[in-house]
Structure 1
Amino acid sequence: MNEWNNLDKLSSYQDLQKAGRVDLTKVMAGQEGSDRVGKYQAPMAAGLRFNYAAKQVDDDILKGLCKLAEEAQLASKFEELYNGAVINTGEKRLVLHHLTRGQLGGTVNADGKDKRAFYTEQQEKIAAFAKKVHNGEILNEKGEKFTTVVQIGIGGSDLGPRAMYLALENWARKNNTCLMEAKFISNVDPDDAANVLAGIDPSRTIFILVSKSGTTLETLTNESFVKDALKNAGLDASKHMIAVTSETSPLAGNSDYLAAFFMDDYIGGRYSSTSSVGGAVLSLAFGPEVFARFLKGAAEADKLSAGTDPMQNAAMLDALIGVYERNVLGYPATAVLPYSQALSRFPAHLQQLDMESNGKSVNRRGEPVDYPTGPIIFGEPGTNGQHSFYQLLHQGTDIIPLQFIGFVNSQAETDVTIQGSTSQQKLCANVAAQIMAFACGKQDENRNKNFAGNRPSSIIIGDKLTPEALGALLSHYENKVMFQGFLWNLNSFDQEGVQLGKVLAKRVLAHETDGALKAFSDLLKI
């Protein structure tokens, strides 16, 4: 029977507080540093590796983290989750996003259905629809093929699918599987929809409306914007729109849509890239086979994440080290730094995934916690970030742990040699250099040029960013966030913090305001 206790009540956590600290400027120098690089790594799915040699850990701290994993019952809590327990205590729901890419435990039934069978059925329906679009069985009113797909959604209906699309766009071009161009409309700001519509041919575009409830204000507003544009172009919107929604929403079975594909309340928006939310747009853009490969990588990573040994479970180990940095070393933020332009929007997705999941100050029972929880997440792709915020990372007053992501080869495989090295080699050289610069620093009598070092980082490294590798990367971070929520005794699967602003915005639009809220409304001429 699993016990849900606050982190500061665990004896292994108290032991970690008393443990000695690791000085990276010493352990990463010379032969010891070289040995650590080969020793401190864990296997991931799809050929990826999690290397934590430049983290502030040693064998003793790692033993302490393994004890913490055991005392916090991380493995059995994950098993409880994927076998269908009500883990989302705030909304009294199951948490089933893992089921969208494979069966880890026993059959999970909810709402009178086998949920794995339900998710598989939706994937098959999406695949069949995408194939009909691609082979010309579904055409526009002029008998022309659709060439573009536009996803209309916000939050998890946008950030994850957009990041995944951008991550595979160049790979798909190289492998001749870029079948339709994808665009995304998310912001209720009319400039967003107007800009997307100005760059496409609406007559040859399929629009995907994504709203679980069918009532999301921003999404329905953008749908109306798009429908007006289609009407003004003399087009029948019902021949250009599909819906991804729940079976009970007003969008389901609505004749305004070519087709409807379903999700349910057991998959949070930020965890929905492997559900119909990501499946429709990615299958239309790249083909169902590519989406299936993406799911395969995620499923393989889920299986590794179900392991009981933290030293062979990269997601669990990453989570443990992250909690050690947040709660023992006192670091307030984490920077995610992909040295891959394809992952340009991946940090933005992780911002939502992590900060919406673990940005909580009460535990699963609604009681205040007495320790820091989720860190601030930010990042940009390298090497761009080096010319932006790395100054603070290297010499600022806060130490911010870093998570690099790098690949030996580019997706395009086209390159140029300048000054004896290729662009990809220069990119990889920058990753290696930054890891060591952050860890070891540089002493200089000129204090302005002095680097204290001792700034921890890890790197996830692979050969190339493929659909399988992307799925594995996504699953790794989803499971890392889950394990950290377990350690902090949080409910990582609701997001009440999103709701208050929505409620007040509705009051503003209904002109039901007073005091400062009315004053701000008047200031903005609402």
Structure 2
Amino acid sequence: MSFTPLSDTPAYKQLQLHQQQMHQQGLEISHLFDQQSDRFTQFSLSAAGVFLDYSKNRITETTKELLCDFARQQQVELQRDAMFSGEKINFTEQRAVLHTALRAPSNTPQRIDGIDINAEVHMVLAQMQAFVEKVHSGVWRGASGLVITDVVNIGIGGSDLGPKMVCQALRSFAHQGIQSHFVSNLDGHALDAVLSQVNPASTLFIISSKTFTTADTMLNAHSARAWFLQHFSAADLSRHFVAVSSNQPAVQAFGIAPENRFGFWDWVGGRYSLWSAIGLPIALSLGFAHFRALLDGAHAMDVHFQQAPIEQNMPILLAMLGIWNRDLLGCGSLSIAAYHHDLRAFPNYLQQLDMESNGKRINHHGQTVDVATGPIIWGDVGTNGQHAYFQHLHQSSDITPVDFIAALRPQHHLAEHQLMLLANCFAQSQALMRGKTAQQVTTEMQTQGMSDEQISLLLPHRIFAGNRPSNTILLDELSPMRLGALIALYEHKVAVQGFFWGINSFDQWGVELGKVLAKAIEGDLHSGTTATSHDSSTAGLIAKVRAAGK
């Protein structure tokens, strides 16, 4: 089969030519606003309760048209439909990619290999609901009769980042009386810090591991089990430990009753799994009605993604803007600036979603993609970031696009705080776009009474180049439904960018090599014999550990 490198395709060449013409014309974002009074209206849209303003990107109507042509050339809509239909688009593992089925309403037909997965999904949801209601009502109690007050989720990667982010983001909706804790880090300090806060008699542990063999998770799980058995007997484990796993024999051997295992499927990728039983800590934290609302919000974005034409399709537009900034403008990273304290874990969540999905360079043909793929994702909550790394965003030699995220209505009653917060959010995107010219800086310093000598010295340091792109994403409030839609928006954006680049966004082979090597090194650390199979650096580091233990 013949293969054409991406940069040699007709649509990509047209985009390159267009970008060169814009550069030659010196066309900046601020000029585009000056020329087009309705630019905000033309380059914004709403979907599933989420509003996207993408007018502060270095794009014109022609740019958008060419990006849409590129999307059609890359058959983005066809690949999207293949994903929703259950085709095994994760071709390196021969798996379907159907996290969208986890939030589909009941009686929505969806079959894989002849099995009605919609029925299976809703069976597990019913199991989760019944369990949550038992815990919240006090029917489910610990071995000594105390109600459950603390839930400790032990998992890593997608079994940790998503549930932890959602519980944190929706703390205003949390069920009173349940405190949520998350342990993912293999470092014993993490587990020790949690165990020191909880009472074994009123604590429920959720062990989240599809295979029940993940090394990090299982070491933490067995250590938590040993801690619990210092206070109770093995017969009491079934009242304090439940599992989210597909490995029933291993779960039962651990001491968890079969009825307290919540299953999920190989067509659910880890970083897309918070909608499944992996979301059990979310349901316990918020109550099942709010968990259901989270699913409904995501489903609303799914419907929009499936039905809206490319030109008005929010996930596809967001993906295309990312392609434009990454490949045509050379921006190597994307900063996430959430102007909401409860979204402080959202940048970390997006790091895994995006970088584990699209941090790849080999396409479906086994060839190296000849353009840049997934960007580096980083960020923090808004005003904290302003006093940390925004200097870099405004004046460094690197141009970093920013996604600003905010909620119009807060979950508190401190009105002045909210107005100042939103003012900062909007001001930062405006400042990145407009910058500050030499003339503006000169006039400002003259007004302050500075001498010509002072102005000449300080002028270059106070100029802001501007012309730095950003998106602004607004929710009416940070509710379960709106958060569900926001997460789904980014899930689909990441998938679409994978479609563009021709890579498999749904495997993660790069995670495996370090795990394999770690097992060998762990064996050497335990054995006490001289390691000879390693490079001199690794062998030397192993020797340091042995010396420290003497």
Q: TM-score range by the shorter chain?
A: over 0.9
**Does residue 464 of structure 2 align to residue 464 of structure 1?**
no
**Does residue 541 of structure 2 align to residue 523 of structure 1?**
no
Amino acid at match of 1:117: A
For 2:99, the equivalent position in structure 1 comes to 97
For 2:164, the equivalent position in structure 1 comes to 162
- CA gap of 1:406–1:91, structure 2 versus 1, over 3 A, is same
CA distance in 2, matches of 1:65, 1:86: 27
Higher helix share: 2
For 1:381, the equivalent position in structure 2 comes to 381
Deviations 1:122-143 (A, max 9, x none): 1110111111111122111222
For 1:74, the equivalent position in structure 2 comes to 76
Q: Which has more radius of gyration?
A: 2
Q: Quick one: which of 478, 494, 499 aligns to 2:512? A: 499
> How much has 1:366 moved relative to structure 2?
2.2
* 8 Å CA contact 1:28, 1:440 repeated in 2: no
Q: Unpaired runs of 5+ in structure 2?
A: 443-458, 525-530
- CA gap of 1:90–1:252, structure 2 versus 1, over 3 A, is farther
- CA gap of 1:124–1:105, structure 2 versus 1, over 3 A, is closer
For 2:456, the equivalent position in structure 1 comes to none
CA distance in 1, matches of 2:506, 2:176: 34
Q: Unpaired runs of 5+ in structure 1?
A: 417-421
For 1:269, the equivalent position in structure 2 comes to 270
For 2:395, the equivalent position in structure 1 comes to 395
> How much has 1:503 moved relative to structure 2?
0.3
CA distance in 2, matches of 1:211, 1:395: 44
For 1:451, the equivalent position in structure 2 comes to 464
For 1:193, the equivalent position in structure 2 comes to 191
Deviations 1:35-58 (A, max 9, x none): 22222112221x211110101111
For 1:434, the equivalent position in structure 2 comes to 428
CA distance in 1, matches of 2:294, 2:308: 25
* 8 Å CA contact 2:6, 2:370 repeated in 1: no
1:3-42 equivalences under 5 Å are 7-19=6-18, 20-21=21-22, 22-29=27-34, 32=36, 35-42=38-45
> How much has 1:306 moved relative to structure 2?
1.1
- CA gap of 1:363–1:122, structure 2 versus 1, over 3 A, is same
Higher mean displacement: 432-441 or 116-125: 116-125
> How much has 1:459 moved relative to structure 2?
0.8
* 8 Å CA contact 1:4, 1:489 repeated in 2: no
Percent of pairs with identical residues: 36
Deviations 1:254-293 (A, max 9, x none): 6434700011111111111111101x11111111111000
Amino acid at match of 1:65: L
Classify the secondary structure of the residue corresponding to 1:460: strand
For 1:221, the equivalent position in structure 2 comes to 219
CA distance in 2, matches of 1:302, 1:104: 15
- CA gap of 1:191–1:254, structure 2 versus 1, over 3 A, is closer
> How much has 1:107 moved relative to structure 2?
3.8
CA distance in 1, matches of 2:129, 2:77: 34
CA distance in 2, matches of 1:373, 1:305: 22
For 2:447, the equivalent position in structure 1 comes to none
Amino acid at match of 1:144: L
CA distance in 2, matches of 1:523, 1:479: 46
Higher mean displacement: 484-493 or 239-248: 239-248
CA distance in 1, matches of 2:237, 2:500: 48
Instruction: Write out the 4+ residue segments of structure 1 that deviate beyond 3 Å after TM superposition.
Output: 3-7, 103-108, 252-255
CA distance in 1, matches of 2:9, 2:411: 45
CA distance in 1, matches of 2:262, 2:400: 42
Higher mean displacement: 348-357 or 16-25: 16-25
1:299-338 equivalences under 5 Å are 299-338=299-338
CA distance in 2, matches of 1:290, 1:106: 21
**Does residue 261 of structure 2 align to residue 260 of structure 1?**
yes
For 2:340, the equivalent position in structure 1 comes to 340
> How much has 1:179 moved relative to structure 2?
5.1
CA distance in 2, matches of 1:254, 1:154: 18
> How much has 1:462 moved relative to structure 2?
1.7
> How big is the alpha-carbon RMSD for the aligned residues of Structure 1 and Structure 2?
2.0
> How much has 1:249 moved relative to structure 2?
6.3
CA distance in 1, matches of 2:329, 2:468: 11
* 8 Å CA contact 2:151, 2:178 repeated in 1: yes
CA distance in 2, matches of 1:341, 1:286: 18
Classify the secondary structure of the residue corresponding to 1:100: helix
CA distance in 1, matches of 2:287, 2:471: 34
CA distance in 2, matches of 1:252, 1:292: 29
* 8 Å CA contact 2:108, 2:118 repeated in 1: no
Amino acid at match of 2:338: P
Deviations 1:393-413 (A, max 9, x none): 00000000110101111122x
* 8 Å CA contact 1:145, 1:204 repeated in 2: yes
> How much has 1:111 moved relative to structure 2?
5.7
CA distance in 2, matches of 1:381, 1:4: 43
Deviations 1:201-252 (A, max 9, x none): 2211111000011100000000111112111223533320000011566226
- CA gap of 1:86–1:249, structure 2 versus 1, over 3 A, is farther
- CA gap of 1:309–1:194, structure 2 versus 1, over 3 A, is same
For 2:243, the equivalent position in structure 1 comes to 243
Q: State the aligned residue count.
A: 510
For 2:455, the equivalent position in structure 1 comes to none
* 8 Å CA contact 1:152, 1:208 repeated in 2: yes
* 8 Å CA contact 1:104, 1:303 repeated in 2: no
* 8 Å CA contact 1:26, 1:440 repeated in 2: no
Amino acid at match of 1:468: M
For 1:419, the equivalent position in structure 2 comes to none
Amino acid at match of 1:26: H
1:345-384 equivalences under 5 Å are 345-384=345-384
Higher mean displacement: 313-322 or 129-138: 129-138
Deviations 1:151-203 (A, max 9, x none): 00001110111001101012x15xxx445221100001000000011122221
* 8 Å CA contact 1:151, 1:281 repeated in 2: yes
CA distance in 2, matches of 1:229, 1:473: 39
CA distance in 1, matches of 2:9, 2:247: 43
Classify the secondary structure of the residue corresponding to 2:263: strand
CA distance in 2, matches of 1:204, 1:248: 25
* 8 Å CA contact 1:247, 1:263 repeated in 2: no
* 8 Å CA contact 1:179, 1:286 repeated in 2: no
* 8 Å CA contact 1:75, 1:307 repeated in 2: no
* 8 Å CA contact 1:130, 1:284 repeated in 2: yes
Classify the secondary structure of the residue corresponding to 1:337: strand
CA distance in 2, matches of 1:291, 1:437: 38
* 8 Å CA contact 1:179, 1:287 repeated in 2: no
CA distance in 1, matches of 2:268, 2:249: 15
- Given the two structures, how large is their TM-score scaled by the length of structure 2? 0.89
Classify the secondary structure of the residue corresponding to 1:184: strand
Classify the secondary structure of the residue corresponding to 2:364: coil
1:78-227 equivalences under 5 Å are 78-102=80-104, 107-110=109-112, 113-170=115-172, 172-173=173-174, 177-178=175-176, 180-227=178-225
CA distance in 2, matches of 1:199, 1:5: 58
CA distance in 2, matches of 1:350, 1:523: 36
